[in-house]
Amino acid sequence: MDSNYNEQSTPAVCASCLGPNPYVEMLRERNGLECKLCTRPFTVFKWAPVKGRVGSGSFKKTVICLTCARSKNCCQSCMLDLNFGIDLTTRDQLLKLASGNGGKIEKTLTQDPQNQVMKIYKADQLERKYAEQGEAGVADLSEKMDRAKELLDGITKLSESTSSNKITNKKSSGKQSTVTNGKKMSSAELLKLCKDLPFNGRLSVPPTNKKVKSFFIFGINDRIADYLIKEKINELLSEPRNSSKKVESLSVNHKGMFGFIELSDRATAERLASIISSKQSPEISRGNASYPFPCLLVIDSCPMRVCWAGKHLYNGGDSGFEMANIRQIVIRQMVKYAEKDNEISIKRESKDDHSILSASNKKRKLQALPPPPGKSIKYKTTKSDYEL
Amino acid sequence: MTDSLVTVKKSGVAQKKVGRRPARVQLDPATINADSKPAQTGQVFNLWYSKWTGGETNGKALLTHSKTRCHLKQDSGYTNADKHVKPDSINRDKFICLYFARGYCCNGKRCEYLHRLPCDLDFFPPTLDCFGREKFSAYRDDMSGIGSFSRINKTLYVGRINSLENNGEMLIAKNFGEFGDLVRTRVVKDRKIAFVTYKLESQAQFAKEAMHGQSLHEDDMNEALNIRWANEDPDPKAQKREREENEMHALETAKKLLKSMNASEQSEAKRQRTVEVPSDDDVEEEVTTKLIEDVKPAKPLIRSIIKNDSLDVFRQLQLKRTREAALVKKVESPEVANGNSGLQSIIGGYGSSSDDDDDDDDDN
């Protein structure tokens, strides 16, 4: 074994683990623990990153052996990559991206043996290999960084060029995704399923039952996280971020593309309803007429519809078959309401007392800027997402 | 109490600082009997682990309803650990209090651990969980316990739910949403189980401890939820989504890395310039220091281990030593001799490989 790069004398630890002090006092224990990766005993080092500090996180120690750390190029203590300070899964993902689809590099890094004997055997083999290589096996640091930078540059360029392609791919692939196993539901069954899902509800008229303080949302895209909806509603209610006080609970059924929001009290619920519906149709709400459909809510450029929930929230089954059926209804409804919105906006434009010029001006404005949520034009463009 | 909380939360990162309020003492210290053994569940009591072993269940107690529960809004607050974590800054070395998560920390503000939810400004090393406990390379067979460092798992399995009738989804979301940002929940009514996915792994860790042995209705003493780590979702759609999310995450980190690398190069260049032109006034130096500070979070990626560089230094020292030894033979001045002995002590074990061979020969 090479004495310069020796397990007995120096741990391979990253700068952040060592702490700010250039003089670190270390405790060494030969064969102190078993390596968490290869289960062989190894020399454990223990030190305090900040001297004299008490309490949590005041000591660090090495948890894997030098051979394992070297094979993964990670810190012996925190197991972050030595060059970048990022975790190994992300690093391997990046290497995979860098090497294209037929990635060779990451295979050797991620496929670890599961069996203990194999683990030990593999580690021994690696150790022998490194001992033979000696110093030559360790690449020069600056060289490494240059190569890494090249790789990163390539990856970011690649992602920028392919990101637009990817989105279009997703759209096309989404069209084939509904599978109902060849079975069909009878209309009676469907009705029963959708008993508590008010697809034809509205937001502008609060329900007479004063106990109702929840909303029904549908059209929720799979990539919208629950907390994003929560944050959006807090934002609409102009509450500080992360204060979950106003939103009592939020449950989303991603397979059925619908969900329910429960607010803390009826007053806030009514406030939220008026905020969302005023965004939907400023002209209508000013007049006496109310918007007769569920209102549009756009989160992260994904459109969804909101209306008051009924007395009972959905309590039906949640099998894949049922959810697929509900999902199809949701999609159909989303398309229907989008078309109705179009009709309304066209009617409104023709009925409007404004001159043609101002109307066209308005239209141009809407097209130039990213349209605010609630404007039908935005929805028209994203409608194709919902055709399956 | 909660109102004061909201007013302080005006800053962008609300979760990070929980106001100026000290952490609440969750459990009266007087009620704790330090000598008490846990209820007898086995035949032999192990003093070291304070656990029972032997018997039918090998000392394992049945899962019963937890006596205490963490109420975040009431209980969280600053502790001694917050002295080392600046508000709204990245936290790398302080951990969350495990007892706080379980609802029975009797130290209150004197606790050396943080009494709050983990947030996206906390960076816990992948080998430790948010409570500072060591992870393992593989999960336990029953997926309980601290978890594994080989997979980033943000999803929990929730079992032993008594009833999911009457809006089980809402109840799950309400209870688990308290302990972090939920990304998705999945309730399987037929089997009375649920899966909850969090935005951060640390939040999943926190929720796992906080909800273990609790119930969905707080007064329901018959229910004791069994929380475990979730296995990978077998649904191909979910797998695809996860893959895409991972790729996105990797790309984001790549961009960040590139940015910080460029910034560090610039700052390096700037520093060199300041060295070259000492007449430049303090303004420029300030700029450089700022730049360096900006790069600080990504510091480990610039200078890494004691590696080739330091070893090279040692080798140079070695060369110097041999040269000086030659000099000593010629001149034999006392100063050089002193310097030589000093060097020897520094070099210690760091001999070159050729030197080593010589030593081996001597031994033989």
Structure token digits, residue B19? 């106001």
Chain B residues whose beta carbon lies within 8 Å of the beta carbon of residue A49: 93
Tokens 């229907």 belong to residue: A336
Measured CA distances, A241 to A177, A227, A229, B327 (Å): 35, 11, 12, 72
pLDDT (0 to 100) of residue B292? 39
A84–B301 C-beta distance less than 8 A = yes
- Cβ-Cβ contacts under 8 Å, A229 against chain B: none
Q: Is A149 in the same domain as A195?
A: no
Q: Residue A252: which domain range? A: 187-339
Which pLDDT belongs to residue A93? 83
| Whether B110 contacts B2, CB under 8 Å | no
In chain A, which residues have their Cβ closer than 8 Å to the Cβ of B251?
97, 155-156, 159
Which two tokens mark A216?
């029904």
Inter-CA distances, B93 with A20, A55, B87, B179, Å: 13, 10, 14, 21
| Whether residue A252 sits in one domain with residue A131 | no
* A234 and A329 assigned to the same domain: yes
Helices then strands, counting H and E runs in chain A, come out as 13, 8
Asked if A3 and B199 come within 8 Å (Cβ–Cβ), the reply is no
pLDDT of amino acid B61: 81
Q: Could you list the beta-strand ranges (E) of B168-250.
A: 182-188, 193-198, 226-229
Question: In the prediction, which pLDDT does A111 show?
Answer: 64
Sort out which chain B residues have CB atoms less than 8 A from A217's CB and list them.
Answer: none
Report DSSP state, residue B299.
G
What are the pLDDT digits (tens) for A117-162? 999 999 999 999 988 887 665 656 667 677 777 777 777 777 776 6
Tell me the chain B residues in contact with residue A249 when contact means C-beta distances shorter than 8 Å. Answer: 170-171, 173-174, 177
When comparing pLDDT for B129 and A322, which is higher? B129
Contact B250 A12 (CB under 8 A): no
Cβ separation of B170 and A87 shorter than 8 Å?
A: no
Our CA-based measurement puts residue B243 at a distance from the nearest CA of chain A, in whole angstroms, of 10
Q: CB A227 to CB B199 under 8 A?
A: yes
> Which residue's structure tokens are 């300070």?
A85
Q: Are A173 and B241 in contact (CB under 8 A)?
A: no
Rounded Cα distance between A91 and A94, Å, is 5
pLDDT for position A47: 93
Are A3 and B349 within 8 A, CB to CB?
yes
DSSP string, B234-259: --HHHHHHHHHHHHHHHHHHHHHHHH
d(CA A322, CA B178): 30
Cβ of B253 within 8 Å of Cβ of A90? The answer is yes
Higher local confidence (pLDDT), A174 or A44 = A44
Q: Quick check: is A297 in a domain?
A: yes
User: Rounded CA gap, B133 and A313, in Å?
Assistant: 41
Altogether, the residues listed in chain A come to a count of 388
The CA distance from A217 to B212, in Å, is 31
- Cβ contacts below 8 Å, chain A against chain B, sum to 224
Residue A275 belongs to a domain: yes
> Hey, are the CB atoms on A77 and B301 less than 8 Å from each other?
no
CA distance B75 to chain A (A): 16
- Mark yes or no for CB contact A14/B237 under 8 Å: no
Considering its fold, how many domains does chain A have in total? 2
A252–B170 C-beta distance less than 8 A: no
Name the closest residue on chain B to residue A138, using Cα atoms.
B308
Closest chain B residue to the Cα of A81, Cα to Cα: B301
* Beta strand B226-229 pairing with A26-34: unpaired
CA distance to partner chain A, nearest, from residue B347 (Å): 11
CB contact under 8 A, B177 and A16: no
The kind and range of the H/E element at A132 are helix A116-133
Residue B194 near residue B161 (C-beta atoms within 8 A)? yes
Q: Is residue A308 part of a domain?
A: yes
Instruction: Round to whole Å and give the CA distance between B183 and B181.
Output: 6
Residues of A in contact with B250 (CB under 8 A): 90, 93-94, 97
**B81/A55 Cβ within 8 A:** yes
For chain B, the first-to-last Cα distance in angstroms comes to: 77
Q: Quick check: is A162 in a domain?
A: no
Q: pTM surpassing 0.80?
A: no
CB contact under 8 A, A227 and B183: yes
Is residue A234 over pLDDT 90?
no
Q: What letters, b where the CB count within 10 A reaches 16 and e where it falls short, cover B176-215?
A: bbbbbbbbbbbbebeeebbbbbbbbbbbbbbbbbbbbbbb
Instruction: Please list every residue in chain A whose beta carbon sits closer than 8 Å to the beta carbon of residue B169.
Output: 251, 253, 260, 314
In this prediction, residue A231 carries a pLDDT of 87
Q: Name the residue with higher pLDDT: A295 or B347.
A: A295
Determine, for residues B189 and A318 on separate chains, whether the beta-carbon distance falls below 8 Å. Answer: yes
In B, which residues are within 8 Å of A260 by CB distance? 167, 169-170
Whole-number Å distance between alpha carbons of A320 and B217: 28
The whole-number pLDDT of residue B353 equals 39
Residues in chain A with CB shorter than 8 Å from the CB of B184 are 225-226, 252, 254
Closest residue of B to A152, CA-based? B254
Orientation of helix B236-276 relative to helix B282-295, angle to 10°: 160
Q: Are residues A150 and A206 in the same domain?
A: no
The position carrying tokens 């990153």 is A49
- DSSP-based three-state secondary structure for A199: coil
Distance CA A245, CA A379 (A): 31
Does the beta-carbon distance from B300 to A262 stay under 8 Å? no
* CATH numeric code, B29-231: 3.30.70.330
Residues of A in contact with B178 (CB under 8 A): 244
What are the two backbone dihedrals, phi and then psi, of residue A41, each rounded to the nearest 5 degrees?
Answer: -70, 145
Confirm whether A235 is domain-assigned.
yes
Q: What is the pLDDT of residues A258-275, one digit of tens each?
A: 999 988 888 888 888 888
Domain edge (last residue) among A322, A339, A356: A339
Answer yes or no: is the ipTM higher than 0.90.
no
Query: What is the mean pLDDT of the segment spanning A200-214?
Result: 81
Query: Do A38 and A97 belong to one domain?
Result: yes
Task: Determine the Cα–Cα distance for residues A115 and A39; give it in Å rounded to an integer.
Answer: 10
Contacts of B93 in chain A (CB under 8 A): 49-50, 56-57
Note whether residue A200 is domain-resident.
Answer: yes
Whether residue A76 is found in the same domain as residue A208: no
Compare CB distances from A83 to B10, B301, B356 and report the shortest one's residue. B301
Identify the DSSP state of B136: B
Question: Which stretches does DSSP call E strand in chain A?
Answer: 26-34, 41-47, 60-61, 214-218, 247-253, 258-263, 295-299, 302-308
Tens place of pLDDT per residue across chain B (364 aa): 344 443 333 333 444 444 578 999 999 988 887 777 888 888 899 888 888 888 888 888 888 999 999 999 889 999 998 888 887 888 888 899 999 999 999 999 999 999 999 999 999 999 999 999 999 999 999 999 999 998 899 999 999 999 888 788 889 999 999 999 999 999 998 899 999 999 999 999 999 999 999 999 988 899 999 999 999 999 898 899 888 888 888 888 888 888 888 888 787 777 666 554 444 444 444 443 344 344 344 334 434 334 444 444 545 555 666 566 555 544 444 443 344 443 443 433 343 434 434 444 433 3
Are residues A196 and A145 located together in one domain of the fold? no
Phi, then psi, of A361 in degrees rounded to 5: -60, -45
